[in-house]
Structure 1
Amino acid sequence: MFLVSINKNQILLLVLLIWALIATSIASYLYLENQSLSRELSVIGNKYVRVNIGIVYGNGTRTWYNGTLLPRGATALTALVTVARVEYKLGSWGAYVTSVNGVQENIISKSEGYSWMWYRYDPNKGELVPGEVASDKYKLADGDVIVWSYEHWKF
């Protein structure tokens, strides 16, 4: 009978070899998956924009929809319609939002009321600025922050 003498060092070496093969296989698999996902994300990046959308209801309630994926070419109005129930009117100036999630515009008189306004975050100024055009005319860029706010106005 032939006896093979195996010492502790040989067993340890065998275990380390098996571990190295398994670890290398897993690392290779994860690397290939990462490359595949990176290619998919670059394709998505060409077709979509990711924006953050805030809704301020004027009563202390604020809702955020961060990382919202929208088709490239979407507008500030598209962003709102994607995350909320919205009513609006179309005119020669563009879209005018009259209700968001059931919170209706409230015109008290010709010189006072509550209406929906939209803002975008300007990274150069470090603050929200009023939308420069009607919400259906402003094309979103990747990373935009849009805030819709229910506000009191008075002349």
Structure 2
Amino acid sequence: MAQQGPVNGKKENKTIVVLLIVLLVWALASSSVASYLYLENQRLKSSLSSLESKAVLVNIAIDYGNGTVVWFNSTPLPSGSTALSALTAVARVEYKLSTMGAYVTAVNGVSENIISKSEGYSWLWYKYSPEKKSLEMGPVAADKYTLVNGDIIVWRYEHWKF
């Protein structure tokens, strides 16, 4: 059996000391990184909460009446936005203002078409009712309806006749 001399014992001790120093440096570095990431996460959560109170996310559909429906899901809009401002955020829109509110006459180049006093094609808007699980015609003019977070708004080019 070979005996370890003082030189081998000192080498092992040096190796252990170096490993302990490396372990200590690693522990300090990873603790620092973890602390930084935690603080950054808290800052971002705070910023998100602040932004959520200033914005709404809505889903907007444009139904061109020919089978083409284009969705704009999770569209961020400023709080206080209306069904009309939601449409203008995602499409080229022409409309007329009256005392009753805005009347949309064209969306992305598709214009209303009045055939006679009792027939035509026009843009109408609908809001999805989660309670009834169906679309309901907008209760007021589009510029009078203030959106809430999660609203689903559908603009439809419809044929009407009476």
TM over 0.5: yes
What runs of 5+ residues in structure 2 fail to find an aligned partner? 1-5
SS in 2 for 1:141: coil
**Residue 24 of structure 1: CA displacement?**
3.8
CA separation in 1, counterparts of 2:28 and 2:12? 25
**Residue 26 of structure 1: CA displacement?**
3.5
Residue 105 in structure 1 maps to residue 95 in structure 2: no
1:36 to 29, 35, 43: 43
SS in 1 for 2:157: strand
* Amino acid across the alignment from 2:124: M
* 4+ residue runs over 4 A deviation: 8-23
Aligned residue pairs, count: 155
CA separation in 2, counterparts of 1:76 and 1:129? 13
* Amino acid across the alignment from 2:156: S
Task: Quickly say closer, same or farther: Cα 1:40–1:110, change in 2 above 3 A.
Answer: same
**Residue 29 of structure 1: CA displacement?**
2.6
Residue 131 in structure 1 maps to residue 142 in structure 2: no
Aligned to 1:117: 124
CA separation in 1, counterparts of 2:102 and 2:47? 34
**Residue 30 of structure 1: CA displacement?**
2.4
User: Which region of structure 1 is more displaced relative to structure 2, 20-29 or 79-88?
Assistant: 20-29
Task: Quickly say closer, same or farther: Cα 1:31–1:110, change in 2 above 3 A.
Answer: same
SS in 1 for 2:145: coil
Larger Rg over CA atoms: 2
Aligned to 1:141: 148
Task: Quickly say closer, same or farther: Cα 1:13–1:125, change in 2 above 3 A.
Answer: farther
Aligned to 1:86: 93
SS in 2 for 1:5: helix
1:48 to 26, 42, 55: 55
**Residue 15 of structure 1: CA displacement?**
7.2
CA separation in 1, counterparts of 2:44 and 2:125? 35
SS in 2 for 1:135: coil
Task: Quickly say closer, same or farther: Cα 1:16–1:49, change in 2 above 3 A.
Answer: same
* Amino acid across the alignment from 2:85: T
1:4 to 4, 11, 18: 11
- C-alpha offsets along residues 13-45 of structure 1, whole Å, 9 cap, x if unaligned? 887766655544443332222211111111112
CA separation in 2, counterparts of 1:9 and 1:112? 91
2:65 to 47, 58, 61: 58
Q: Over aligned residue pairs, what C-alpha RMSD do you find?
A: 2.5
What runs of 5+ residues in structure 1 fail to find an aligned partner? none
Task: Quickly say closer, same or farther: Cα 1:130–1:11, change in 2 above 3 A.
Answer: farther
